Structure 1
Amino acid sequence: MSKAHAKTSVPALTLGAIGVVYGDIGTSVLYSVKEVFNSGHVAFNVANIYGVLSLFVWTITIIVSLKYISLVLRADNKGEGGLIAMLALASSAVKHRPKLHAIIMTMGIFGTCLFYGDGVITPSISVLSAVEGLTVVSPRLHSVVIPATLTILFLLFFVQKFGTKGIGKLFGPVMVLWFLLIAGIGVYHIQHNVEILQAINPIYAYQFVMTNPTLAFIILGAVVLCVTGGEALYADMGHFGKKPIRIAWFSIVMPALLLNYFGQGAFLLANPDGKSNPFFLMIPDAMRIPMVVMATLATVIASQALISGAFSITKQAVQLGFLPRMRIVYTNVKEVGQIYIPAINWGLFIAIAFAVVMFKSSGALAAAYGIAVCTDMLITTILTFFVIRYAWKYPLLLCIAATSLFFVVDFLFWASNLLKLLKGGWFPLLLGGVMFVLMMTWRDGRNLVRIAHTTRQINLKNFLDDLFGSFTNKRLQIALESTQGKLEKLTQDIENAPLENIQELQNQQALLQEKILINQRCQVLFENIKKIKGIAVFMVSEVDIVPVALKQNLKHNKCLHEYNIFVTVNTLETPWVGLSKRSEVTYLGHNCWKVVLNFGFKNDPDVPDSLKHIQQFNFDFDPAKVSYFLSHEAVVASESIKGMALWREKLFAHMHRNAGTAAEFLKLPSNNVVEMGAKVEI
């Protein structure tokens, strides 16, 4: 167990895991069996009931118990789990293989984007399937199902801004009660048809598949619904630890799920007419309304866990440079992980409301559900292979042996779900595809901005040496004449150079032209610049380059502070970076320091607090008395400069204009921030 969990007891963490980790998979009993037998593909007979139940049992066993619990949970990134953590682990292990690194990054980002598609379908199908229990109580209530579902979902998203500090403590007890209830209902029906327990024998699944191979392949798309939410075991590992997640699964969750599925099978053997909604129809009349309420609470908790996951993944994506900065609200000052992101919150709600209105029933949503989940599961298996092979450095044959079964099973489920593409499977893929375009455009756009900055930049230390008078005016003139001579020679070389060398020579030419410009400016600055008391912190996007804000400040204000700190924020491919490894400090002379602040993708970047802990400064650093200078780029899409497709450049420019402020993201005091702008063409 990680140090983060050391102060919390295993029973408490186990209870918390039941409430957060297992909400999604725990509510799959509402619709999984129903969708298999209402798909129109499976003949309703005893042999098929046994065969389908056996498929459920072994799907849960192979995918959750063996794959996630036994293997994937081992692939933690310093205690953290989830696709982003695994992506960082796998990609950092293959940095020396550029092509493989690019493939892994693209695959991992796409899988992360599909989480948003899953984040739309899960609350929709879960809450809708629970509210549909009202139609079992009374068919006349069918007309209130959609309005009631939308109302519950709206209230769920509305209260997000208040956080889950208070009600979050109830999630565990409520879900424990839910699992006990579904297990009890299952046992109640099993006792009338004890022979249904024979379905635990894999021979029934084998016979079902061999007798109807095509049919079996088709219904895998519905069978996989019994493990939707299984990926949460890995995603939430950082919150609870491996041991509590494993204890919760084997002691409560898995037994309760299997007992309920066996109970539904026993109920169907005795009541063939109950296949329209076996979960609610198997409940005694007197308990149906309370169970509808209980199911609704359970699905709300499952949805809450997924919404919180969307906030967490978005924050990590922002810090890794895949999404623009967004407004992040911390709803609990004692728990850094409890956050609220308004843009994601209401974006999800709009998409979910649209899905509920468009699909109208949990049955229709089931067709859209599996494909995003199966794609994520398949990507997880592939990334796990790369982690075992390149991060853990196990032999190739052992890596194949460890993951091949899971790859085959995941691939079959994924391929089966492709059959549902036109029936609704396109919807989560579309949502994931939109997020993928946004993420890749933002990443590539930021890279183009970086190139635009660095191509014509001068080394920071050289600039400061010139600026502070390490050169006399005469020496500056000598340096200027020398640079001009080099530029003239280079210009002649370009005229006679082979075509393949021209681009490199032109880059050198641009650097020399910039250096001449800097030297010319320094000649003027040397005589006219004024030094003022105080501390200035300049935020620098790339280490060792002159920030735009510094040049603009010298140009317009013609002053420089007594102490100057040039700070670059660096997000590493690791979840957490402690204070001991936070800062890298280099003294540049002239009371100037270069500071690189390293953060993990789950850290909150707080620049003033990090600078406050640096011991190398020869002055008293008071964050409240510092002036913070930021460079603000006005990005303009250009057809003349080679980069992305023009529509992507325009999209990036729009995203850049609407991104959150760097000052807020870096926790800079707003009253002490000065932004200096410059236009950047990409």
Structure 2
Amino acid sequence: MAQAPASVQSGAEYGAGEGHHSKNFWALAVGSVGVVFGDIGTSPLYAFKEAITAAAHRGLTTAEAALGVLSLIFWAMTLVVTIKYVLLLLRADNKGEGGMFALMALGQTVARRSAPLLGALGIAGASFFYGDAVITPAISVLSAVEGLKLIAPQFERAVIPVAIIVLAFLFWMQSRGTDRVARFFGPVMSIWFVVLGLGGLAHIADNLHVLYALNPVYGMMFVYHHGFLGLTVMGLVFLACTGAEALYADLGHFGRRPITASWVYFVMPALVLNYFGQGALVMNDAAAVENPFYRLYPDFMLIPMLILSTFATVIASQAVITGAFSLTRQAIQLGLVPRFEIRHTSESMAGQIYMPRVNWILFIAVLVAIFAFRTSSNLAAAYGVSVTAAMVIDTLMAFFVIWKCWRWPLWRVALIVIPLLLIEQAFFSANILKLFEGGWVPLAIACMLAIIMFTWVRGTRVLAKVTKRNEADLDWLVRKLEAKPPHRVSGTAVFLTGDPYAAPTSMMHNLKHNRVMHERNILLSIRTEETPRVPRHERLTIERISDHFIRIIARYGFMETPSVPKILEHARRKDCNIDIGSTSFFLSRRSLRTTAKSEMPRWQERLFIALAGSAEDATTYFQIPTDRVVEVGTQVAV
């Protein structure tokens, strides 16, 4: 779920098939190389090494293991990345946008009966993504820095400290924004892929028998003949596909054609050459199994490669971190988690955001992972579970979209989806075998986050039901006030409310205790639609209820951040003149408490209250001027 550099123009139009100038196309293609392919592009640092090491430790010859591993890597990338994501899912856009929640929302709009199931799948998929977001920076940076051991064995003690310094700088940099450095992502990663391809190409001639691995029979026979070992290696082989979901998540930033072209003509060939070069190297020299990636390059290239690898892994980690920010914002808008502080770090690109709480929670989790596992090999055991689980969920949601949205016959959908599902289930099962070696970590993270999301969704529904009992019908109240007017004061009052057709609690308390109303009262309701973005001309619905009351409904997509000042500015352009300097904003601040009659179990009730207490203040989140806010406190039993 990475974000595009601010210097790269959005490419959503390419997903819709619009023709653009070739200059823009190539700018988007280079940008996608830097953002979309950072994670999968750094997999050669550890994927082949871990798989071949696992096979070699079970007594297999290096040549036999290398051909089986390479065949599995090549066909995993072909079937899962190229066919599923590039050729299939990139066409399943939600108004030009892609990603877990975009696919979920698209499925819910066309398969209403299955909306709860798709919602549950979306929550599960997002939960597994956060497990990936913790492990990716840890394993990527560690695997790059471990090259220090090849320069001098005594540097082994420096691996973890250096990795921590690199990661600390990376997470510290988030608050400064990635606007300036992001424009270098594409060129740096382009150099990285060129070096990957050249390094592999230089060694394929070491043993041309490595080309036999293009035959899928070698991979299938390897798994068939080696039973448990074959499944273990399958789980490690899938490390070569980590980051594939970024192709779909970044669809809105770069467009289908630039991403497809980058993958087919540049990224995949470079990866295949590198993997096959590593394979030929170890077939020719079994000692190279220790670190086949760095052994591809001559000794004088070790330090430059170490530096370039570190830059590449930082870029890969950056993409995952900003993806976590983006996904969290979407989850907030969809009502799956409490409000968190969102800071915009770029004036030119709305997608460049920073979320302090998410950033530092991630950083702490990454440090814990590094100290707990200590090496990239140990982390590899924990990596594949979250990635394969997220991919299986993508496939399940894609089934509904292809069937209901594209209106394909069921047999045709099954013909494509079932084989993909079986392949990914096989990889998921292979990774589950590593449950007690570290695979429990992403599962634990996913379960914890899923519980938080389900608790928040259920709690907000219960709270809305309780609140509705204490709110009067707005039209009834307006008629009552028109018949018997209270004392009116000059100016405008804006009442933020979830239900624009009910009198909000803040209004009722103001009327009850102060016995006054403003000359003009605006009920403002902010809604999140099942679409990534809402066109500006569809943003506001303004309805005059009476001479003194106006109802405004503002609609936002789940990839947008609401702003009350911008809403009022937009309303002024629609002949609803509002002077923010003479406007008071009334908000209800609920103090939640437990009750014996709650619809939720006691533990879930307490968790929801804690989550509600940690939510970002509505004044800050909606960017309301703090000196114009009046908060009305109420106690609510949930």
- The answer to whether the superposition gives a TM-score over 0.5 is yes
What one-letter code is carried by the residue in structure 2 that aligns with 1:635?
L
1:191 Cα shift? 2.4
1:302 Cα shift? 0.2
Distance 2:138 2:575 in 1: 58
Is 2:8 the partner of 1:52? no
Moved more, 198-207 or 354-363: 198-207
- Give the equivalent residue in structure 2 for 1:375: 389
- Give the equivalent residue in structure 2 for 1:475: none
Trace 1:171-190 onto structure 2 (pairs within 5 A).
Answer: 171-190=185-204
1:213 Cα shift? 4.0
What one-letter code is carried by the residue in structure 1 that aligns with 2:620?
E
- Give the equivalent residue in structure 2 for 1:496: none
- Give the equivalent residue in structure 2 for 1:210: 224
Trace 1:193-592 onto structure 2 (pairs within 5 A).
Answer: 193-469=207-483, 526=484, 529-592=486-549
Is 2:555 the partner of 1:608? no
**Would you identify which runs of 4 or more consecutive aligned residues in structure 1 move more than 4 Å?**
3-8, 615-619
**TM-score for both structures, normalised by structure 2:** 0.95
| Contact 1:120–1:351 (8 Å) recurs in 2 | yes
1:212 Cα shift? 2.6
| Contact 2:69–2:233 (8 Å) recurs in 1 | no
1:565 Cα shift? 0.9
| Aligned counterpart for 1:15 among listed residues 30, 34, 58 | 30
Q: 1:617 to 1:332 in 2, by over 3 A?
A: closer
TM-superposition CA deviations, 1:104-156 (whole Å, max 9, x none): 21111011011111000000000000000111121111101111111110111
Instruction: Specify which structure has the bigger relative contact order, considering alpha-carbon pairs within 8 angstroms and separated by 6 or more residues.
Output: 2
Is 2:554 the partner of 1:597? yes
- Give the equivalent residue in structure 1 for 2:48: 33
| Aligned counterpart for 1:94 among listed residues 111, 134, 137 | 111
- Give the equivalent residue in structure 1 for 2:577: 620
1:621 Cα shift? 1.7
1:287 Cα shift? 0.6
What one-letter code is carried by the residue in structure 2 that aligns with 1:106?
A
Moved more, 336-345 or 583-592: 583-592
- Give the equivalent residue in structure 2 for 1:82: 99
| Contact 1:365–1:424 (8 Å) recurs in 2 | yes
| Contact 1:381–1:403 (8 Å) recurs in 2 | yes
What one-letter code is carried by the residue in structure 1 that aligns with 2:444?
L
Q: 1:181 to 1:46 in 2, by over 3 A?
A: same
- Give the equivalent residue in structure 2 for 1:71: 88
TM-superposition CA deviations, 1:563-583 (whole Å, max 9, x none): 111111110110000121112
- Give the equivalent residue in structure 2 for 1:2: 12
Distance 2:342 2:581 in 1: 22
1:616 Cα shift? 9.3
1:650 partner SS: helix
Distance 2:29 2:98 in 1: 17
1:167 partner SS: helix
Distance 1:45 1:286 in 2: 27
Distance 2:467 2:159 in 1: 56
| Contact 1:367–1:424 (8 Å) recurs in 2 | yes
| Contact 2:12–2:97 (8 Å) recurs in 1 | no
Distance 1:599 1:42 in 2: 59
Q: 1:561 to 1:137 in 2, by over 3 A?
A: same
What one-letter code is carried by the residue in structure 1 that aligns with 2:92?
A
| Contact 2:45–2:143 (8 Å) recurs in 1 | yes
TM-superposition CA deviations, 1:363-383 (whole Å, max 9, x none): 000000000000000000111
- Give the equivalent residue in structure 2 for 1:647: 603
Distance 1:614 1:102 in 2: 35
What one-letter code is carried by the residue in structure 2 that aligns with 1:454?
K
1:197 Cα shift? 1.9
| Contact 2:585–2:630 (8 Å) recurs in 1 | yes
| Contact 1:114–1:432 (8 Å) recurs in 2 | yes
| Contact 1:537–1:567 (8 Å) recurs in 2 | yes
Distance 1:361 1:197 in 2: 31
Instruction: State how many pairs are aligned.
Output: 621
TM-superposition CA deviations, 1:168-219 (whole Å, max 9, x none): 1111111011111111110111123233223212232233233334432221
Identity %: 40
The Cα RMSD (Å) is: 1.6
Runs of at least 5 residues in structure 2 that lack an aligned partner in the other structure? 1-10
1:90 Cα shift? 1.1
Moved more, 616-625 or 458-467: 616-625
| Contact 2:201–2:274 (8 Å) recurs in 1 | yes
1:594 partner SS: strand
Distance 1:224 1:41 in 2: 19
TM-superposition CA deviations, 1:216-248 (whole Å, max 9, x none): 222111010110111111111111111111111
Larger Rg: 1
